[in-house]
A = this chain, B = another copy of it.
Amino acid sequence: MKGTVGELGEFGLIRELTSRLTSTPAVQIGPGDDAAVVAAPDRRVVATTDVLLEGRHFRRDWSTAYDVGRKAAAQNLADIAAMGAVPTAVLLALVVPAELRVTWPVELMDGIRDECQVAGAAVVGGDVVRGETITVSITALGDLRSRPAVTRAGARPGNLVAVTGWLGWSAAGLAVLSRGFRSPRAFVEAHRRPEPPYHAGPAAAELGATAMTDVSDGLVADLGHIAAASGVDIDVRSAAVDIPAQMTDIGQAVGVDPLHWVLTGGEDHAIVAAFPRDVKLPARWRIIGDVTAPAGRTPRVTVDGAPWDKAGGWDHFGPDA
């Protein structure tokens, strides 16, 4: 597999990419026709889309194509799980420069395929065009298995707030990388390749979660979306949030309070949800806060009863984005 994307041509590249895919029983018609056909057993389909740009969402010197593929798929599949659905399928719209070596999109596709397999989904279709900037647009589909979707709007005063998955690891890894280091490896890996707890989304729905989202913009920011949609206040107890000793060490080394990473770091795609107080949560969930009636006119998220100054989250057009 030598040469560039331009030398291989569009149809050659598509052949190369689709030849590497695996399927699942849900895929009734896969890539190669005008459109794919995917099972939607409960008569509804959950759908989400996200786009990643080189230079903005990933750097080729920091992440391999394979890792970019894993990450691009993960962030979409996590959105499906955060509705309480089981991921079924992914579509890829890819922009690549003609002078890019073919190995890059091929390894990207391997990463997307493998992340799909972790989540139980398959790549069913896509489009590839030539352009200046590598652009990876992914759409993910999922099935709700006869359960109601868990939106951001159902949190009620008296609910508890719980989280599962990783928090702040990607942000700590990015801090390490942006200072020119490549270790500690666990955090660098977490930045390159998140591991969303896909199974936890449908499990939370089954347990009666009233509101749910994945942590893509940062815990405080994403809880803010739940607070706003539900019309409630949410208070996070910082002592209840897990900060690994090694993250504290990195924080000291680079001069950052690790709580900042945990409360504002996105991209790990942890799943955070509100539950009725009497819920019996599995071991890997941590209860980190409470839902209360809104104290003021605007729903808000507090940490230990006070506003969190650096509310975190990303505005992709803002000066720091």
Interface residues of A (CB under 8 A from B): 5-6, 8-11, 13, 28-29, 32-51, 53, 56-57, 79-80, 82-83, 85, 89, 91-95, 98, 124-133, 135, 137, 139-142, 144, 149, 151-153, 212-214, 229, 314-318, 321
Closest 9 CB pairs of A and B: A35-B48, A40-B40, A137-B137, A139-B139, A51-B93, A93-B137, A49-B91, A34-B82, A34-B79
Apart from A10-B317, A132-B132, A139-B139, what are 11 other A-B pairs with CB-CB below 8 Å? Answer: A8-B317, A28-B44, A33-B152, A34-B48, A34-B212, A39-B43, A39-B44, A47-B91, A47-B139, A51-B94, A53-B129
Q: Is the CB of A316 within 8 A of B124?
A: no
Q: Is the CB of A43 within 8 A of B46?
A: no
Q: Kindly provide the distance from the CB of A55 to the nearest chain B CB, expressed in whole angstroms.
A: 8
Q: Is the CB of B318 within 8 A of A9?
A: yes
Please list 19 pairs of residues, one from A and one from B, whose beta carbons are closer than 8 Å in the complex, sorted by A's number.
A6-B317, A28-B44, A29-B149, A33-B83, A33-B151, A35-B48, A35-B140, A35-B142, A36-B46, A37-B45, A47-B89, A47-B125, A48-B125, A50-B127, A51-B95, A93-B93, A127-B137, A129-B316, A131-B133
Given A10-B318, A149-B28, the answer on whether A38 and B45 have CB atoms closer than 8 Å is yes
Q: Is the CB of A48 within 8 A of B91?
A: yes
Please indicate the chain B residues that have their CB under 8 angstroms from the CB of A315 in the complex.
9-11
Please indicate the chain B residues that have their CB under 8 angstroms from the CB of A45 in the complex.
37-38, 40, 45, 141
Q: Is the CB of A47 within 8 A of B53?
A: no
> Complex: how many Å from CA A169 to CA B8?
31
Nearest to A321 among chain B residues (CB) is B130
> Complex: how many Å from CA A225 to CA B124?
18
